[in-house]
Amino acid sequence: MNKAGVVMADRPKSILLADVVYDSIRRAIANGEYAEEERLPGENALAGQFDVSRPVIRAALKRLRDEGLVTSRQGSGSYISTTVVPKPLAFQPLETIADLQRCYEFRLTIEPAAAALAAGRRSAADLAEIENLLQLMRDATERRSHREDADFGFHLAITAAANNQYFETSMRALKDHIAVGMKFHGLSLQTVRGGLDHVLDEHAHIFAAIARGEAETARAAMAAHVGGSRDRLFEGRLLDLSSK
């Protein structure tokens, strides 16, 4: 039985694996990770990437071709169709401190919910990706520095693990906005004794809750982290954003 409650025992394992590969590539296309007419990796490379056999890859690619998402060129491989790559979702540029505070408000709406969903839906590959990014942050903390790229990657990987493209797409669209807050927050942490270690612990608590499958603990840990980051950055002096 799958997570939707559908009995799947009578389906061959190869078909289930092909579904996983298909969905992963489809999501990458939907998120704009491929350019128009970009060549996909070859069957051997994809088989290694997903740790499946080549027949599984062929089945997934056939489904993508049948839906018009990719095209095949004789002797050349599979390419992204010219009509399916979406225009990246974009928000109005962050221009003021008030915009930065609003960005945190939005993150506090979507990221705790994504963390809770990730706790129930994450795969082994999702956990490995999140843990790898956590280790990059741990390495930077030991050097008494902050890696904004790993920090954002950690949060993005959690929204991907929620297996809901709306969360992940929103995070990608907010990347530049979030980067501003993370940069200033990271700089402020280096001036506070124990600041970097404390924030690393917050990330570790989020990961541990997701790894244990504890949805509400993950939700609370993410809310505490994002809210704490906002409060540290604004030093507890939030702007009054009510309309005048």
Determine the pLDDT at residue 52: 87
Strands 70-73 and 77-80: antiparallel
Under 8 Å CB-to-CB from 11, ≥6 apart: which residues? none
DSSP, collapsed to helix, strand or coil, labels residue 73 as strand
Each domain of the chain, given as residue ranges in start order, spans: 13-80, 97-234
Task: Label residue 62 by pLDDT band (50, 70, 90).
Answer: very high
**Which range is least confidently modeled, 140-154, 156-170, 188-202?**
188-202
Residue 181 has a pLDDT of 76
pLDDT (0 to 100) of residue 15? 60
Averaged pLDDT of the chain: 84
What fold does the segment set 13-80 form as a domain?
Answer: Arc Repressor Mutant, subunit A (1.10.10)
The pLDDT confidence band at residue 240, using thresholds 50, 70 and 90, is confident
Joined together, the tokens standing for residue 215 give 């949805």
List the CATH code of the domain at 97-234. 1.20.120.530
**How large is the average pLDDT for residues 94-117?**
92
What residue spans of the chain are helical by DSSP H?
Answer: 13-30, 43-50, 54-66, 97-121, 124-142, 148-161, 165-173, 175-189, 195-212, 215-234
Most confident of 20-29, 77-86, 151-160: 151-160
What the block records as the tokens of 226 is: 């994002």
Would you place residue 108 in the very low, low, confident or very high pLDDT band (cuts 50, 70, 90)? very high
pLDDT at 224 over 90: yes
Do 157 and 128 meet the contact criterion of CB atoms below 8 Å apart? no
